[in-house]
C-alpha cells in the first residue's frame, strides 16, 4: 500500500450512526411535532437554541388569544421588524374577535409581507435561522413565518481581485440572492434556471447552481448535481471548500474549476453552456467545467478590439512560460551551458558572481524564497502599508544583497522579471501553480541542466493531458485538438465570427446564432441591395 493510499484511505468511524438529539431534531427528513400549546413550543425553542442571547420572544395578544413573536435579532433588520410587524400589530391588541386563526391574522395585518406557514418545530427553527420572524398563537396548529429581509449587506463595489479597465464595474457580494440577481440582470431569459441545495451539517449553508436549460450538457449537469449531493462536511464557508470537494482530483496544483467575483464573467460562461455555483456568504462564484485555456482569458477581452485582445492573449501565454522556466534557464546556463552566452556577457556575469559564495541554484532559491515572503507579507499587511512593504522591501533587500555579495545583479533581474510576469495572469490561483512548479524546474536544472528542464516540462504536459474536469480533458481544445474552437483560444477572432459554443461542452444548442454575417457600411449595403 502506498503512502498516499494509507494517509487518505477512508476509515470507518466507530461513532458513525450515532446521532445526537440536536442533530436528530434538525434533520429535515424527520418532522417534529408542533404543539397547539404556546408555552410548550416556547420551551422547546429555548431548548433548541440553548438560551442564546440573540433569541427574542415578544408576547402579543390577538383575538382573545395569547401569542408570541420569536426571532433572532442578529439575522434580521430591526427597522424592518418595527415597520412591517410591530407597527401593524398595534391595532391587534384592540381586536376582540375570538375566531381569528393564523391565516386570518396574516390577511388582516400582513397582506404584503412574504410569508410561509410552519407546522413543525423544525420548520420554525429553520425559518428563524434564515432571518424570519415567527408568530405563534395559542391553540393554533401552525405558525406564521414572516420574511422581512435580512441584516445589512455590503454594497456592490468594483472587483478587488480582478481589476478591469473597460467593462462593468460591479462585483458579487456575500449575499446569494443579490449575486443571482446580478446574473439575472444580464441574462433576461426564462431558460436560466437556479437549483438550491443546503450543504454543511452544522452550517446549513445555501448553495445554488445556475445553468441555461436547453443549452447545458445534461450529462455534465447530472454529474454536478451528484457531486454536490455527496458533499458531507460539518461546515461550508466559501466556494473554495466546494471546489475541493467536487473537483475531479485534488493532487494537482492547477485549478480545475474557474472562480471569479465578476457577474459578467459568470454570465458569459453560463451562456456558453457551463454551470455556475453560488454560495451564500462568499463573493466568489464557480464555473465548471473549466479547461486550461480559460485561465488565460478575461471578459474584458470581449470589450476591447480583437487585434489588441489577440496581442494580450499571446502576451499572457508568453508571461506564463517566462514565469515557469526563466529562473531554471538561468541556473542551467550558469551551471552547465555557459557556451550559450556571448563571451562579453559571460565575462560580465562571471565578474559579478566572483564575490558570491554560493552556487547559482542556492543563490536563486534564496532570492526566490525572499521574494515569496515579501509577496505574502504585502498581501496580508493592511492596505495602507502592504504595497509600500512589497516595493520598498524588495528594492532595499535586493540592493543590500547585491552589495553584500550574496547575489549577483543579473539574478535580481531574473527573479524580479519572472515575478512580475506571474502577475499577468487574470486569475490569481492559476499564477500560483506556475510559482510552485518553478521551484521544481529550478531543482531539475541544478541536477541535469537543460535536460532536467525538458524532462520536467514533458512530465508536466503528461500530467496536464491526464487531468479531467467533469469528464472534459483539461487541455482541450488543444489536446485533443479541435479546429472549430481555435477562433477564441490563443487569438480572438471578431465577435461576429463567434457563432458556436465550445464543442468540448457538447451543448444541446451548439449554434449561438444563425445567418450572422460581417457588418457592412451603409453604402455597401445599398449597393448589395441594388445588385440583388
- The answer to whether 196 touches 280, Cβ cutoff 8 Å, is no
Nearest to 411 by CA among 515, 496, 326, 297: 326
pLDDT of the residue at 15: 39
Nearest to 218 by CA among 3, 430, 508, 421: 508
pLDDT of the residue at 52: 84
What is the DSSP secondary-structure string of 167-203?
S------S-HHHHHHHHHHH---TTEEEEEEEE-TTT
- The answer to whether 447 touches 435, Cβ cutoff 8 Å, is no
pLDDT of the residue at 525: 57
Which of 97-106, 167-176, 275-284, 406-415 is predicted most confidently? 275-284
**pLDDT (average), residues 261-279:** 93
State the pLDDT confidence band at 441, using cuts at 50, 70 and 90.
very high
pLDDT of the residue at 30: 47
Nine-digit cell at 392? 520598498
324 compared with 525, residue with greater pLDDT:
324
pLDDT of the residue at 216: 93
Cα separations in angstroms, 110 against 72, 151, 223, 391: 20, 20, 43, 59
Tens of pLDDT, residues 106-139: 888 888 888 888 888 888 888 888 888 999 988 8
> Among 120-129, 203-212, 254-263, 326-335, whose mean pLDDT is lowest?
120-129
pLDDT of the residue at 359: 87
pLDDT greater than 50 at residue 14: no
pLDDT greater than 60 at residue 328: yes
Which of 60-64, 98-102, 310-314 is predicted most confidently? 310-314
pLDDT of the residue at 18: 41
Mean pLDDT of the chain: 82
pLDDT of the residue at 457: 94
State the pLDDT confidence band at 265, using cuts at 50, 70 and 90.
very high
What are the extents of the domains in the chain? 21-147, 176-290, 306-473
pLDDT of the residue at 74: 82
pLDDT greater than 90 at residue 201: no
> Among 24-28, 340-344, 356-360, whose mean pLDDT is lowest?
24-28
pLDDT of the residue at 512: 80
Tens of pLDDT, residues 479-515: 888 888 888 889 888 888 888 888 899 888 888 877 6
pLDDT of the residue at 46: 84
Q: How much of the chain exceeds pLDDT 70, in percent? A: 85
pLDDT greater than 80 at residue 100: no
pLDDT of the residue at 95: 56
pLDDT of the residue at 141: 85
Q: Where are the beta strands (DSSP E) in 285-348?
A: 285-288
- The answer to whether 65 touches 141, Cβ cutoff 8 Å, is no
**pTM surpassing 0.85?**
no
pLDDT of the residue at 292: 93
Nine-digit cell at 493? 477572432
Amino acid at each position: 500500500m502506498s503512502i498516499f493510499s494509507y494517509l487518505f484511505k477512508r476509515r470507518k468511524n466507530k461513532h458513525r450512526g450515532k446521532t445526537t438529539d440536536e442533530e436528530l431534531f434538525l434533520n429535515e427528513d424527520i418532522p417534529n411535532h408542533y404543539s397547539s400549546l404556546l408555552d410548550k413550543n416556547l420551551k422547546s425553542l429555548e431548548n433548541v437554541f440553548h438560551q442564546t442571547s440573540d433569541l427574542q420572544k415578544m408576547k402579543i395578544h390577538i383575538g382573545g388569544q395569547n401569542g408570541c413573536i420569536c426571532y433572532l435579532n442578529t439575522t434580521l433588520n430591526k427597522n424592518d421588524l418595527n415597520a412591517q410587524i410591530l407597527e401593524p400589530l398595534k391595532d391587534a391588541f384592540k381586536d376582540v374577535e375570538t375566531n381569528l386563526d393564523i391565516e386570518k391574522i396574516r390577511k388582516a395585518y400582513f397582506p404584503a409581507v412574504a410569508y410561509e406557514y410552519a407546522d413543525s418545530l423544525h420548520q420554525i427553527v429553520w425559518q428563524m435561522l434564515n432571518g424570519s420572524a415567527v408568530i405563534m398563537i395559542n391553540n393554533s396548529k401552525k405558525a406564521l413565518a414572516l420574511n422581512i429581509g435580512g441584516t445589512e449587506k455590503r454594497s456592490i463595489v468594483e472587483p478587488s481581485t480582478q481589476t478591469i479597465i473597460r467593462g462593468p464595474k460591479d462585483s458579487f457580494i456575500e449575499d446569494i440572492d443579490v449575486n443571482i440577481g446580478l446574473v439575472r440582470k444580464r441574462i433576461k431569459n426564462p431558460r436560466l434556471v437556479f437549483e438550491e441545495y443546503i450543504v454543511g451539517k452544522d452550517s446549513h449553508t445555501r448553495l445554488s447552481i445556475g445553468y441555461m436549460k436547453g443549452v447545458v450538457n445534461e450529462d455534465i449537469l447530472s454529474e454536478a448535481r451528484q457531486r454536490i449531493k455527496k458533499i458531507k462536511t460539518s461546515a461550508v464557508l466559501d466556494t473554495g471548500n466546494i471546489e475541493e470537494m467536487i473537483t475531479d482530483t485534488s493532487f494537482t496544483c492547477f485549478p480545475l474549476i474557474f472562480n471569479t467575483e465578476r457577474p459578467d464573467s459568470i454570465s458569459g460562461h453560463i451562456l456558453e453552456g457551463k454551470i455556475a455555483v453560488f454560495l451564500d456568504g462568499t463573493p466568489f462564484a464557480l464555473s465548471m467545467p473549466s479547461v486550461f485555456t480559460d485561465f488565460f482569458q478575461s471578459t474584458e477581452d470581449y470589450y476591447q478590439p480583437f487585434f489588441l485582445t489577440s496581442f494580450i492573449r499571446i502576451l499572457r501565454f508568453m508571461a506564463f512560460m517566462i514565469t515557469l522556466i526563466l529562473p531554471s534557464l538561468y541556473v542551467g546556463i550558469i551551471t552547465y551551458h555557459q557556451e550559450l552566452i556571448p563571451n562579453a556577457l559571460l565575462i560580465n556575469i562571471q565578474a559579478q558572481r566572483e564575490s558570491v559564495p554560493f552556487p547559482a541554484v542556492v543563490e536563486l532559491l534564496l532570492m526566490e524564497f525572499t521574494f515569496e515572503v515579501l509577496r505574502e507579507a504585502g498581501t496580508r499587511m493592511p492596505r495602507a502599508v502592504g504595497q509600500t512593504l512589497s516595493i520598498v522591501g524588495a528594492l532595499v533587500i535586493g540592493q543590500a544583497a547585491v552589495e553584500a555579495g550574496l547575489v549577483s545583479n543579473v539574478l535580481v533581474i531574473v527573479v524580479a522579471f519572472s515575478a512580475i510576469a506571474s502577475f499577468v495572469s487574470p486569475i490569481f490561483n492559476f499564477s500560483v501553480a506556475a510559482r510552485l512548479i518553478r521551484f521544481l524546474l529550478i531543482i531539475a536544472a541544478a541536477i541535469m541542466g537543460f535536460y532536467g528542464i525538458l524532462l520536467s516540462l514533458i512530465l508536466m504536459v503528461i500530467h496536464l493531458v491526464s487531468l479531467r474536469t467533469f469528464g472534459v480533458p483539461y487541455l482541450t481544445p488543444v489536446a485533443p485538438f479541435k479546429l472549430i474552437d481555435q477562433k477564441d483560444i490563443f487569438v480572438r477572432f471578431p465577435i461576429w465570427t463567434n457563432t458556436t459554443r465550445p464543442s468540448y461542452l457538447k451543448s444541446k444548442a451548439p449554434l449561438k446564432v444563425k445567418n450572422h454575417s460581417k457588418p457592412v457600411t451603409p453604402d455597401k449595403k445599398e449597393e448589395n441591395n441594388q445588385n440583388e
